[in-house]
Chains A and B, each alone.
Chain A
């Protein structure tokens, strides 16, 4: 589903990704772990097409398409979703309105009919409840005045509504207490399926107790230095990144 080959990328002239090879087949959840500054978030932004993240080498193929040639909104329409580490505030923009516009933009791109306000409300109500959110949060401006946990839940809500083919979760666990973490993990697990791929970026193993990955990759210094099964995450938790950092 997602195939990354020899990917190198720079931010403000500094090389952050230094040759990444990674393949995530449909139906699998892969975790990217690594210390701060190893390039985890950069990988997410490069895949989503953020300005200022310059790809210098390599290719990314997503569902048979050249991902790097696409605009950010084209990538979204093709089914790529990034749950932000720091969700952005949009003052004055109603959360429900934003969600509906996003959903209809994606539906248009997929050749599906747009949903009107009533149909949308019906769809969104159930998902809101499942994520332990209140309908009041739909009326507020996007992420404005949301607590850290509410922002993360809001990201998962967007994911649940947009039903993307591929989800990248960038440190979705940061800032969550254990109860919120469980709810968010349940929301993510509900989206797991044979047609969907996921890339879970995290610093800590904690999240992976709840979202159990098929594969774990360790990113250090802009390269994947080790890959393994879910047990690798627990090993890292015990030993820390020190050894791998020294080796890199």
Chain B
């Protein structure tokens, strides 16, 4: 297989032989509770502003923390177990629930899907596994914080979420990475399966190291995310806030197979300095009366390049399928770029597909108006950008929305003037 070249991103060739495919944090034994976790690791989390304890207490969030490639802490397990929900690291799932893993793994993203998915399928060592049984509403938001912390560690995480008939689960994934000099490859695969009348809500705040102002360092994020709405009236909703990474190559998609199933994609992508993002979604309408909504907000600053690439495909049996796409770009400064590449293929005449796109700038009068009211230029930009992204941010769970708003403002610091 070959690396895909069609995305509007540029980077030097990756030396796949030079990557580390597995790196474990230095520890003596697997901890059984947070108290046994290496305090050094806990301090790193605190520096990142996401203390595990506080997360537990304040938000009632169960956190499966992936530090490099081995899970070091899993919390709230008992409460979840009571409801029958399985939420664990992938390695544990392989040991404890081999039948489930065998049944579902690779059924949405097969190993041969694309170059990076093949790489992941060949070498992945851990990740997260969620199984929500029939009729169960998961009693809390599930969250995994991925961290890339070792030098030259390619992370090949794997996530598999299965929602049985009539179940509901909301999964939060957040990422930050400490500063690194060399480019680091991240090629994750996320698979979601929703059966009859099941709903999966998958939210991401991605803040990996974007490289310095000259574009040195930074994460290459080549991720395959796909959800299959297998059952009738099932629903998969992707919400992403992408502020980090030197390169983002990511298309969280929905295969709308079940009759009346629903796919949603809400995205905010920021590119500042030399960041490049080629991101969007694919909505594949197979079943009748399937519906999809795409809201994409791209923000470009500095010399950032931001591409929305989306496919809406209506297959012959998708009677009365509907799609609405809204694609807005905001430009800050005159050296950045915004590109919109929508692909629409309809093979059913009863389908209705709508596409709206806008491109705007932060206007001088908006900045002046805010500053006249006492806000600094950076506060003003943060406010205007958050207003621009509001339709997406309101889809995030509460505890993420606040973090995401701060992140948008921080990501654009120094981009005006």
Contacts and interface: CB of A to CB of B under 8 A. Distances in A.
A72 B389 contact: no
A158 B371 CA distance: 13
A49 B370 CA distance: 12
A105 B373 CA distance: 8
A123 interface: no
Contact of B386 (A72, A88, A93): A93
A91 interface: yes
A101 B370 CA distance: 10
Contact of A76 (B365, B366, B372, B391): B372
A92 B374 contact: no
A230 interface: no
Contacts, number: 77
Interface in A83-134: 84, 87-93, 98, 101-103, 105-106, 109
B35 to A, nearest CB: 35
Contact of B387 (A49, A82, A93): A93
B368 A51 contact: yes
B387 A92 contact: yes
B294 to A, nearest CB: 18
Contact of A105 (B368, B369, B379, B388): B379
B392 to A, nearest CB: 10
Interface residues of B, number: 23
B371 A92 contact: no
Interface centre among A81, A84, A87, A88 (most CB of B within 10 A): A88
Contacts of B354: none
Nearest to A98: B383
A48 interface: yes
Interface residues of A, number: 31
B326 interface: no
A109 B372 CA distance: 14
A71 interface: yes
A73 interface: yes
B77 interface: no
A90 B369 contact: yes
Nearest to B383: A93
Interface in B376-409: 376-377, 379, 383-384, 386-391
A101 B386 contact: no
Given A92-B387, A158-B373, A72 B368 contact: yes
Given A105-B376, A105-B379, A90 B384 contact: yes
B379 A88 contact: no
Nearest to A45: B368
A90 B372 contact: no
A139 interface: no
B24 interface: no
A141 B371 contact: no
A76 B371 contact: yes
A221 to B, nearest CB: 26
Nearest to A161: B373
A107 B366 CA distance: 22
Nearest to B387: A92
Nearest to A52: B364
Nearest to B389: A92
Name the residue among B369, B379, B383, B389 with the largest chain A CB count within 10 angstroms.
Answer: B369
B375 interface: yes
B91 to A, nearest CB: 43
A87 B363 CA distance: 13
Interface in B163-220: none
A227 B377 CA distance: 38
B386 A73 contact: no
A50 interface: yes
B368 A102 contact: no
Contact of A88 (B369, B374, B387, B391): B369
B225 to A, nearest CB: 26
Contacts of B376: 73, 105
A185 B282 CA distance: 55
A87 B372 CA distance: 12
B371 A72 contact: yes
Contacts of B364: 51-52
Given A51-B364, A105-B379, A91 B374 contact: no
Contacts of B391: 92
Nearest to B373: A102
Contact of A73 (B363, B365, B374, B383): B374
Contacts of A60: none
Residue with the greatest number of chain B CB neighbours at <10 A, chosen from A75, A77, A90, A92: A92
Interface string A55-78: 000000000000000011101110
Nearest to A48: B372
Top 8 nearest A-B pairs (CB, nearest first) are A92-B387, A93-B387, A102-B373, A92-B390, A88-B369, A105-B374, A72-B371, A76-B374
Given A102-B375, A105-B374, 19 more contacts: A48-B372, A49-B371, A49-B372, A72-B372, A73-B371, A73-B374, A75-B372, A82-B372, A90-B370, A90-B387, A91-B388, A92-B389, A93-B384, A93-B387, A101-B379, A101-B383, A106-B374, A141-B387, A162-B374
Interface of A: 48-52, 71-73, 75-77, 81-82, 84, 87-93, 98, 101-103, 105-106, 109, 141, 158, 162
25 contacts: A49-B371, A51-B364, A51-B368, A71-B371, A75-B372, A76-B373, A76-B374, A77-B374, A82-B372, A84-B369, A88-B366, A88-B368, A88-B369, A90-B369, A90-B383, A91-B388, A92-B386, A92-B391, A98-B373, A98-B383, A102-B370, A105-B375, A105-B379, A106-B373, A158-B373
